[in-house]
Amino acid sequence: MTENKSIVLYTLEDYEADLREAWGMDNIGQKRALSGAANKRYKQTVIFHWLEKVELQESVDLTPTLALHLVKGWIGRGIDRLVLNKWFMITGRTAKNKSEDHHRKDKLIEKYSEPVASAIIAAENEMKQVKSAVARSSPLN
């Protein structure tokens, strides 16, 4: 479990800083790439919050693989495996002592799909507000 092991991923302030940097770029391709990556990173933070919440509230032994299955069930696609490994990997773990919670996957997906979707919508609304504020303060505006 990740008790006392929270990893700070990417805050709304980080998102704003990246957008400000992107808006200052002359190259439209680079601007779009940085802006898109910022969107993805902030949504990923929301997902990791829910993974941690599920792990703690449901006493789930989350492995990177089980976490990936939950995320795919919640949002229909995966997220950064390197971060999943960093957060949920236990050094020395083998198939012999793997998580026994994989059978709970479908129930956890069903139970948390709605709150995760709501959290993503809330994050998208927060990002829109930040994006509007950055656009208003941009010298190009």
Q: Residue 6 domain-assigned? A: no
Q: How many domains does the chain have?
A: 1
* CB-based contact 15:43 (threshold 8 Å): no
pLDDT reported for residue 7 = 59
The structure tokens 């919050």 sit at 49
Q: Residue 3 domain-assigned? A: no
H helix and E strand count, the chain: 5, 0
Q: Which of 43, 21, 63 is nearest to 120 (CA)?
A: 43
State the DSSP string of 34-52. HHHHHHHHHHHHHHHHHHH
Q: How far is CA 61 from the centre of its chain?
A: 19
Q: Residue 7 domain-assigned? A: no
Q: Residue 109 domain-assigned? A: yes
Residue 140 has pLDDT above 80, yes or no: no
pLDDT reported for residue 1 = 42
Q: Residue 45 domain-assigned? A: yes
pLDDT reported for residue 92 = 83
Q: What is the DSSP letter of 141?
A: -
Q: Which residues contact 85 (CB under 8 A, 6 or more apart)?
A: 64
pLDDT reported for residue 76 = 95
Could you list the residue range(s) of the whole structural domain that residue 124 is in?
12-137
Q: Residue 108 domain-assigned? A: yes
Per residue in 90-123, pLDDT (tens digit) is 888 877 888 899 999 999 999 999 999 999 999 9
Q: Residue 84 domain-assigned? A: yes
Q: Residue 92 domain-assigned? A: yes
